[in-house]
Amino acid sequence: MKKITIVSLLALIFSIVPMRADEGMWLLPLLKKMNIETMQHMGLKLSAEEIYSINNSSIKDAIVHFGGGCTAEIISSEGLLVTNHHCGYGSIQRLSSVEHDYLADGYWAMDRSQELPAEGLTVTFLESMTDVTKDVEKALKRAKTAKDSTEAMKQLEANLTGKAVGDNKYLRARVYSMYGGNAYYLVVSKVYNDIRFVGAPPSSIGKFGADTDNWMWPRHTCDFSMFRVYADKDNNPAPYSPDNVPYRPKQHLKISLKGIQPNDFTMIIGYPGRTNRFMTQSELVEQRDISNAISIYIRGKRQELMMEDMLADPKVKLQYASKYSGSSNGWKKWMGMNETFAKLDVESRRAKEEAEFKEWVGKKKSRIKKYGDALDKINYAVKDRAEALTIYTTLAESVGRIEIMSIASMVNSLFTTPFATDKEKEQYSNMLDRRIAAFYKDYSLPTDRKISKEMMKIAKERLSEENLPSFYKDIESKFAGDIDAYVDYIFDNSIFASEKKVFEAIATETPVKDDPAVELAKSFSLVTPPLRAKIASTQKIFDEGKKAYIAGTLEMREGEAIYPDANSTMR
């Protein structure tokens, strides 16, 4: 007899394979219409209602969005959850110190009193997903201009979310676009923010293989961490309090120690981040040759410098563990994407698909009217934004990653933002105090200094003079073109090299606008908005083309079960 095993989608696996009815990232409300019969034929013993229901408890109530970027599963009646080791990595790092290095040594709470509050971590439960496509189409049909459409969409979303949430202060709602704007779903959820760290194995086990094994399968690693969701006495979300109690879930998954057998039915439920299965040939080339290629090169250089200091100093190793892991995760994925593009000749396959699409469109005048210029619009927008995207990506991955610049900009905003009331300013100041403390806890000035020099050199090597921030002119005129000397000047003279001096400036309300790190941040901030504007200038044309292309593809393949791209909604 076959049995079912449920596992969560804890990592977004990039693969380029033909879409089949038994694979994909399916919307749970559509299971009954699209998938359930096939799944049951393959061995599933559950009904669609047992997987997703808004009236009764179902499996969806045991699957949560962890930290906004991962999936976790509730595995006990008292709010215990399990997720990937790398998903809990950032929270574990923030809770660690050199004396208590939970990343290196692991940690296990022997009782509830030893469970550690993970500040800033959230867990989101899905309440419902509702198709609101007709509401959106009706609202947009009345709009006569692009501006009207934008305003109509904002107003409709406000109305839909407001009605869904009502006076329930614990609910959140958002409208998600699906199939490139050809469908829309209203997602209602509940967010819990008292989450406590329960346990995890040492990284030598939980992250065995590190970057070498990341994005590689199969691999052998004890890849999990455990947390617990806490709530108030009424089981509602509440900020951390010693009086909070373990959350009582509507549903939790039971752990079987029997294992699985060949031909057992398995399925995955979770929150995949993002896919682009309707990517065109021009988009693929853009992703491969601009976004991926630039980021791979620059991140590789930055990570080398990080790792040098991490290996030399246990304190820096802990401070930069999460930063390095986050950076290298994208870096490794993008390398894998580009290798797969080449290995499977995906560009040629996309070109063939587009040729088939054009041939199908050309057979009917009605199709030509609706879809005839879809690919032309996409290709035009991609070509038009190529230069700006190249410059922006280069700057964002290099100079934009200088840490002292980010904290300088944040603190300067306290003195330059026009607050409506003293209370509003006080609230911002309190938030800033927490962010400053968190920043310097995980900050190594020598590491940032070294990386800053390399990042500025890379930007200068890869971009023409007119596309560089204005501070490069200061380097030429005041420092004889010596980037190292310029960076040393900033780090030797900026108050942001010292946490103590930063808090003193805030306490005495001493403006920091003339600080060299603030001037660096200002210079950088002037060059990026025009680039973003250029990239966005053809977004409307691109969106129109993509919407038409996807709509045409769905019509061309009518009768097939086709899932929408992942967008961090439950699948």
pLDDT tens-place string over residues 287-303: 999 999 999 999 999 99
Count CB atoms within 10 A of the CB of residue 558: 7
What per-residue confidence (pLDDT) applies to 13?
A: 30
For residue 381, the SS3 value is helix
Whether residues 129 and 184 share a domain: the answer is yes
Whether residues 371 and 431 share a domain: the answer is no
Whether residues 552 and 480 share a domain: the answer is no
> Is 10's pLDDT higher than 70?
no
Whether residues 466 and 548 share a domain: the answer is no
End-to-end CA distance of the chain: 27
Domain boundary among 176, 192, 208: 192
What per-residue confidence (pLDDT) applies to 145?
A: 80
Q: Could you tell me if residue 359 is inside a domain?
A: yes
Band of the pLDDT at 7, cuts 50, 70, 90? very low
Whether residues 342 and 421 share a domain: the answer is no
Whether residues 463 and 506 share a domain: the answer is yes
Q: Give the domain extent around 336.
A: 279-397+538-565
What per-residue confidence (pLDDT) applies to 286?
A: 99
What per-residue confidence (pLDDT) applies to 146?
A: 75
Fill in the amino acid letter for 159: N
Q: Could you tell me if residue 187 is inside a domain?
A: yes
Predicted confidence (pLDDT) per residue in 112-154, tens digit: 999 999 999 999 999 999 999 999 999 998 887 878 888 999 9
Whether residues 349 and 386 share a domain: the answer is yes
Q: Could you tell me if residue 248 is inside a domain?
A: no
Whether residues 309 and 386 share a domain: the answer is yes
Band of the pLDDT at 354, cuts 50, 70, 90? very high
What per-residue confidence (pLDDT) applies to 143?
A: 82
Q: Could you tell me if residue 268 is inside a domain?
A: no
User: What's the whole-number mean pLDDT along residues 509-525?
Assistant: 96
Band of the pLDDT at 212, cuts 50, 70, 90? confident
Q: Could you tell me if residue 67 is inside a domain?
A: no
What pTM was estimated for this model as a whole?
A: 0.89
Cα–Cα distance for residue pair 82/88, rounded to 1 Å: 9
Cα–Cα distance for residue pair 504/510, rounded to 1 Å: 8
Site of tokens 């080339």 = 285
What per-residue confidence (pLDDT) applies to 215?
A: 85
Fill in the amino acid letter for 567: N
> Is 12's pLDDT higher than 70?
no
Closest to 523 measured CA to CA, from 411, 447, 409: 409
Whether residues 295 and 392 share a domain: the answer is yes
The overall longest dimension of the chain from CA atoms, in Å, is: 78
Q: Could you tell me if residue 317 is inside a domain?
A: yes
Whether residues 288 and 393 share a domain: the answer is yes
Q: Could you tell me if residue 72 is inside a domain?
A: no
Whether residues 369 and 429 share a domain: the answer is no
Closest to 147 measured CA to CA, from 562, 540, 570: 540
> Is 9's pLDDT higher than 90?
no
Angle, vertex CA 71, rays to CA 68 and CA 75, nearest 5: 125
User: What's the whole-number mean pLDDT along residues 247-256?
Assistant: 96
SS3 annotation, 224-273: CEEEEEEECCCCCCCCCCCCCEECCCCCCCCCCCCCCCCCCEEEEEECCC
Cα–Cα distance for residue pair 334/315, rounded to 1 Å: 29
Q: Considering its fold, how many domains does the chain have in total?
A: 3
Residue pair 112/80 in contact (Cβ under 8 Å)? The answer is: no
> Is 468's pLDDT higher than 90?
yes
Whether residues 390 and 468 share a domain: the answer is no
Q: Could you tell me if residue 226 is inside a domain?
A: no
Angle, vertex CA 281, rays to CA 275 and CA 287, nearest 5: 55
